[in-house]
Amino acid sequence: MAEQAAAASARGIRHSFADVNGARLHYAHSGEGRLILFLHGFPEFWYAWRNQLAEFGRDCLAVAPDMRGYNLSSKPEKVEDYEMNHLVGDIVALIGNLGAKSCCLVGHDWGGVVAWVTAIARPEIIEKLVIINAPHPAIFQRELRENPAQQQASQYMLMFRTPPQAEQMLSAENCALLQQIVLSEGLRDGYVTEADQRAYLEAWTQPGALTGGLNYYRAARVGPVSGESQNAFHGLEEQTSLQVNVPTMVIWGESDTALLTGNLDGLDRYVPNMFIKRIPDATHWIVHEKSHLVNSLIRDFISH
């Protein structure tokens, strides 16, 4: 944890653990007051939100956990331990563990999917919902079924679901593929530093961490496969309407090559109280590319 701690300490970020829902979750936090909770996706960890923790810790209790399976949090061995009910249960329990009755919830990628479902299942504990490049389950199910472009863009999910080939591919040559996907452009353009790179490598090489992250795909059985469960996220069958009844802002980098803009079409059917902010020149990694813009949009949204 040395690289992560060194990079975080200068920003006033602290670290704690919470035993919740049968898991031990590591989380980074800054500030005090109203709770705003940030959920990362694959293949990231709490550090994805370092700029948000510094910004919102000025006047809120800003918290970013390592989701189960990642970095310093518990890494259950069974794939079924990563089904959506467990992931949502972690977040609900963490909110209570932090002494809050509700929070503003922000999620990106898989963290955004968990945030969607938390808001669907437990709207009374979510004050405001912010989704960043993460598909609503019902819309993604439709896109995988009907949109050939999204089917093609999601082919990588099939490899991610295949052990141990996925782990071997992603860990090879010092996690070279992950570095290329997540870090290379930022290192070139200056919004990712060499210290950030070291922190990511430290997280990716934690024992069991790559398998933990990949188990989200395996448990959900999500991917462009005909004849599989018609529910794109296994374990949501009990959530019949998938209606989101909390104020919601969706921020979407339109140059995302994995999650296409078709995921925004018809979203208002499921999210009636919603504002969409499209960012044409941002990719899936908008949180890093345009952290100041993301912070500004979130602050404006949660302040009203």
Residue 225 has a pLDDT of 62
Q: Of the residues 40, 136, 284, 288, which is catalytic? A: 284
Q: Of the residues 217, 256, 270, 288, which is catalytic? A: 217
Q: Of the residues 81, 109, 196, 256, which is catalytic? A: 109
Alpha-carbon gap, residue 214 to 212, rounded angstroms = 6
Catalytic residue at 284?
Answer: yes
How many structural domains are present in the chain? 1
DSSP string, the chain: -HHHHHHHHTTT-EEEEEEETTEEEEEEEE--SSEEEEE--TT--GGGGHHHHHHHTTTSEEEEEPPTTSTTS---SSGGGGSHHHHHHHHHHHHHHTT-S-EEEEEETHHHHHHHHHHHH-GGGEEEEEEES---HHHHHHHHHH-HHHHHHTTHHHHHTSTTHHHHHHHHHHHHHHIIIIIHHHHHHTSS-HHHHHHHHHHHTSTTHHHHHHHHHHHHT-SS-TTS-SSSSTT-TT--S----S-EEEEEETT-SSS-GGGGTTGGGT-SSEEEEEETT--TTHHHHTHHHHHHHHHHHHT-
HSE (side-chain half, CA atoms, 13 Å) at 225: 17
**Which of left, alpha, beta for 166 (phi over 0: left; psi -120 to 50: alpha)?**
alpha
Domain span at 252: 2-302
The burial of 282, by beta-carbon neighbours within 10 Å (0-12 exposed, 13-18 middle, 19 or more buried), is given as buried
**For every one of its 304 residues, what pLDDT tens digit does the chain have, with 9 covering 90 and above?**
677 766 666 578 999 999 999 999 999 999 999 999 999 999 999 999 999 999 999 999 999 999 999 999 999 999 999 999 999 999 999 999 999 999 999 999 999 999 999 999 999 999 999 999 999 999 999 999 999 999 999 999 999 999 999 999 999 999 999 999 999 999 999 999 999 999 999 999 999 999 999 999 999 988 886 444 445 566 555 556 899 999 999 999 999 999 999 999 999 999 999 999 999 999 999 999 999 999 999 999 999 8
Q: Give pTM, 2 decimals.
A: 0.95
Other Cβ atoms less than 10 A from the Cβ of 86: the count is: 17
Alpha-carbon gap, residue 67 to 229, rounded angstroms = 25
Say which CATH number the domain at 24 has: 3.40.50.1820
Q: What angle do CA 178, 182, 185 make, to 5 degrees?
A: 120
Spatial CA neighbour of 166 closest among 222, 231, 199, 212: 212
Write the CA distances from 304 to 113, 128, 248, 298, 301, integer angstroms: 24, 10, 12, 10, 6
Residue 240 has a pLDDT of 64
Spatial CA neighbour of 130 closest among 280, 246, 291, 304: 246
Alpha-carbon gap, residue 186 to 180, rounded angstroms = 10
Alpha-carbon gap, residue 242 to 140, rounded angstroms = 12
Spatial CA neighbour of 295 closest among 27, 29, 53: 53
- Give the list of residues 6+ apart from residue 181 with CB closer than 8 angstroms, or none: 43
Q: What is the largest CA-CA distance in the chain?
A: 51
Write the CA distances from 246 to 127, 221, 239, 280, 288, integer angstroms: 7, 27, 16, 26, 26
